[in-house]
């Protein structure tokens, strides 16, 4: 496990296998919170934060509880439980220790307790057989990739607001078309 493999995991998670645009995970916040760049940034930061923590927590639980007892078929259920509890705990700690950070992240944290992108990171970590460090890097990079997609989308949608769009396409329909084009553009990275 060299530095090079970590870099390749990171680039893969950010660009090539971008969670939103290539794996189609976390579409709900991608459409819901991409109306302006400010909230997109907040959501992106919250997701990155939780993904990194969730990678560490689920890896530990998986290795020392599920694999040890030979009950890996319970992964999905266990991961949901662990991630939901973790997000709750993190929210409480942030609220207690840093009101400023809570103002910035607070409203987005409950939104991602059972987000499929976060569960996806945990399950992919296991599927790929990543070590603890690799899992952490993968989780963090996946969060960065998610933020990148969200910010790009928010920037595009802010511009689209000013464009003269045919009435039936206004709002969500044009957002879906934009997302499609963005996704196609990201598939260009698969040659990397």
Residue ranges in contact with another protein by CB under 8 A: 61, 65-66, 69-71, 74, 77-78, 81-82, 85, 88-89, 92-93, 95-96, 159, 161-164
Q: How far is the CB of 85 from another protein (least distance, A)?
A: 4
| Of residues 1 and 172, the one with the C-beta less far from another protein | 172
| Of residues 46 and 87, the one with the C-beta less far from another protein | 87
Burial of 95 by CB count in 10 Å (0-12 exposed, 13-18 middle, 19+ buried)? middle
| Of residues 12 and 75, the one with the C-beta less far from another protein | 75
The CA–CA distances, whole Å, from 55 to 7, 167, 174, 175, 191 equal 17, 43, 34, 30, 27
Q: How far is the CB of 183 from another protein (least distance, A)?
A: 24
Query: b vs e for 39-52, b when ≥16 Cβ sit within 10 Å of the residue's Cβ?
Result: bbbbbbbbbbbbbb
Closest C-alpha to 79, from 103, 130, 115: 115
| Of residues 24 and 102, the one with the C-beta less far from another protein | 102
Q: How far is the CB of 103 from another protein (least distance, A)?
A: 9
């Amino acid at each position: 496990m060299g530095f090079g493999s970590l870099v390749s995991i990171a680039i893969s998670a950010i660009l090539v296998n971008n969670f939103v645009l290539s794996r189609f995970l976390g579409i709900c916040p991608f459409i819901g919170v991409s109306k302006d760049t400010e909230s997109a940034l907040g959501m992106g930061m919250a997701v990155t934060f939780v993904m990194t923590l969730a990678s560490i927590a689920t890896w530990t639980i998986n290795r020392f509880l599920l694999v040890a007892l030979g009950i890996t078929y319970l992964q999905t259920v266990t991961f949901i439980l662990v991630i939901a509890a973790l997000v709750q705990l993190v929210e409480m700690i942030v609220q207690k220790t840093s009101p400023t950070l809570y103002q910035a992240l607070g409203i987005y944290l409950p939104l991602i307790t059972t987000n499929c992108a976060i569960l996806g990171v945990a399950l992919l970590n296991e599927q790929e057989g990543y070590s603890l460090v690799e899992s952490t890097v993968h989780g963090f990079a996946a969060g960065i990739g998610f933020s990148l997609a969200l910010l790009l989308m928010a920037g595009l949608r802010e511009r689209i607001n000013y464009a003269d769009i045919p009435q039936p396409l206004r709002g969500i329909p044009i957002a879906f078309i934009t997302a499609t084009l963005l996704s196609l553009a990201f598939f260009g990275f698969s040659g990397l």
